[in-house]
Amino acid sequence: MKDYSLQSTVPVYEPLEAISIVPCNSKLMNICNKDKLKKAKRSQSDPICFLTAGERGIVRLWIAEG
């Protein structure tokens, strides 16, 4: 994210209305994905966390790793 280069592509299987980067150390991420976040933090770099809102009105939290 620091140099705006492509890291990976995440298929979401629906048109997106909005996307937002969320700090992985935020309260929202700690409450919603505590177990997944612990696993992701085992890697050397900090995982990238983001929210998506799709055309079906579903908001999803993502942890991009690997």
45 part of a folded domain: yes
Task: Work out whether strand 48-54 and strand 16-22 pair parallel, antiparallel, or are unpaired.
Answer: antiparallel
Q: Range of 58's domain?
A: 16-64
Strands (E) in the chain, as ranges, are 16-22, 48-54, 59-64
6 part of a folded domain: no
Into how many domains does the chain fold? 1
2 part of a folded domain: no
9 part of a folded domain: no
pTM for the whole structure: 0.62
**Residue range 8-12: mean pLDDT, rounded:** 79
pLDDT (0 to 100) of residue 53: 94
Give yes or no for residue 45 having a pLDDT over 90.
no
Give yes or no for residue 24 having a pLDDT over 60.
yes
pLDDT (0 to 100) of residue 4: 80
Which residues, 6+ apart, have CB-to-CB distance to 12 below 8 Å? 52, 54, 60
8 part of a folded domain: no
